[in-house]
Amino acid sequence: MNTSTQSDGEPSSAQAHCAVSVRSLSKEFGAGSNAFLALDAVSVDIRKNEFFTLLGPSGCGKTTLLRLIAGFEQPTSGSILLDGADLSAKPPYQRPVNTVFQNYALFPHMTVSENISFGLEMLGRPKDEIKAVTADMLRLVRLDAMADRRITQISGGQQQRVALARALAPKPKVLLLDEPLSALDLQLRKDMQLELKRLQTDTGITFVFVTHDQDEALTMSDRIAVMDGGKILQIGSPRDIYDKPQHRFVAGFIGEINLLPVEAMGEHDYAIAGVGTLRCDDPSELRKGDPAMLAVRPERIVLSAPSAGTLPGVISNVVYHGTDTIFHFKLADGLEMRARSQNNTAQRRAFAKGDAIGWSVDASSVSVLADDPS
């Protein structure tokens, strides 16, 4: 897959609308037998005024890419353009970007207001401008009433907002965020997800956010780049990534998934051995008889009594999850599947372990997966 081509159909060549353009960027650490390729010829266009997320497991290359954009690391090969200008030779302090780290790096002996104004003072901005911008930032992050408190006197979530305000104060063209929510508890993380998206919308600054958390990525992002093994496997909107994964890794990393080994029967039809045929809306270039892998989300599967219009299965387990129930069922070839059903009166079905069932899924909810790049 050419990762510089956007999955939503817009051409990557429209670089006038890009804040950051990465071209064939690679980063190798070490040398000789100890060399490690952390980033492998990555290309991506990040648009102006968008919330763009780099998502993937530890070691996938997402933080390395962020650090290269910031200038904290130098690429082994490739280029990074910001507003069309090559950043390769510029040190971090000469790049119009700011970074918010996991540990926030605030000064505990300073007040909230002093922390926010510190960067502006280092840039030599006039005192009147520093005072006005600091007041604006306090209002933006809703900390007006805490301006004179020391960092040790405010909560973790409030500290995170101070770090954001300090990074936003110089009005960078791009704000880089390296898993800034990882130290917060679950409920506060959810609250701050909405807060981050609000800040990005209000300021119009391009946010590049690094996380391994799927929920964070799906909640906040305009687009997501899913990474693994130093490569970008897929770029798209949260709905694109979730509903139409293109690779096995993407399908398995984002939410729950059923993977079905099948055989191509035509442009849209696939045979499940000993079970029946599933249809996929997306046309395939596979030849008849070629093996393939289909992906189906559990919540897209409809269970019913066995009938001529459904595929057969047998319930093997029923797991209650409060808001919904997961029905595990087996196919004739022994493959185990999962269907998720909301626990409301309109959709609830009284299936028990050992029941024979019929199952179906709309062709628009079936994805054909490509092999992951080696």
pLDDT tens by residue, 258-313: 999 999 998 899 999 989 999 999 888 888 999 999 999 999 999 999 998 899 99
φ, ψ of residue 122 to 5 degrees: the values are -65, -25
| Residues β-bridged to residue 374 | none
More reliable by pLDDT, 373 or 64:
64
Q: Mind listing the pLDDT tens digit for each residue in 227-253?
A: 999 999 999 999 999 999 999 999 999
Angle at 325 between CA 360 and CA 246, to 5 degrees: 50
Q: Contact at 8 Å (CB) between 330 and 356?
A: no
- Classify 286 as helix, strand or coil: coil
Average pLDDT over residues 190-216: 92
Q: What pLDDT sits at residue 102?
A: 82
User: What's the rounded mean pLDDT across residues 132-147?
Assistant: 92
What is residue 170's three-state secondary structure? Answer: coil
Q: 340 has which bridge partners?
A: 326
19 closest CA partner among 60, 55, 69, 90: 69
Q: Residue 7: what pLDDT?
A: 43
Taking CA 95 as the corner, what is the angle to CA 205 and CA 69, rounded to the nearest 5 degrees? 80
State how far the alpha carbon of 154 is from the alpha carbons of 13, 111, 117, 149, in Å. Answer: 46, 10, 17, 7
> Which pLDDT score, from 0 to 100, does residue 345 have?
56
Q: Indicate if the pLDDT at residue 8 is higher than 70.
A: no
Q: What pLDDT, in 10s, does the model give residues 79-117?
A: 999 988 898 888 998 899 999 988 888 999 999 999 999
pTM score, two decimals? 0.87
Tell me, what DSSP letter sits at residue 323? S
More reliable by pLDDT, 180 or 75: 75
Average pLDDT, the chain: 89
In our burial notation (b when 16+ CB lie closer than 10 A, e otherwise), range 308-319 reads eebbbbebeeee
> How far apart are the C-alpha atoms of 40 and 287, rounded to whole Å?
31
Per-residue confidence band for 4, with pLDDT thresholds at 50, 70 and 90? very low
Long-range contacts of the stretch 6-11 (C-beta < 8 A, 24+) = 6/45, 6/223, 6/235, 6/236, 7/234, 7/235, 7/236, 7/237, 7/240, 7/246, 8/223, 8/236, 8/237, 8/240
**Per-residue confidence band for 5, with pLDDT thresholds at 50, 70 and 90:** very low
Specify the pLDDT at position 298. Answer: 96
Helices (H), 156-271: 156-168, 186-203, 214-220, 238-243, 248-253
Cα 31 to chain centroid, rounded: 31
The answer, yes or no, to whether residue 374 has pLDDT greater than 90, is no
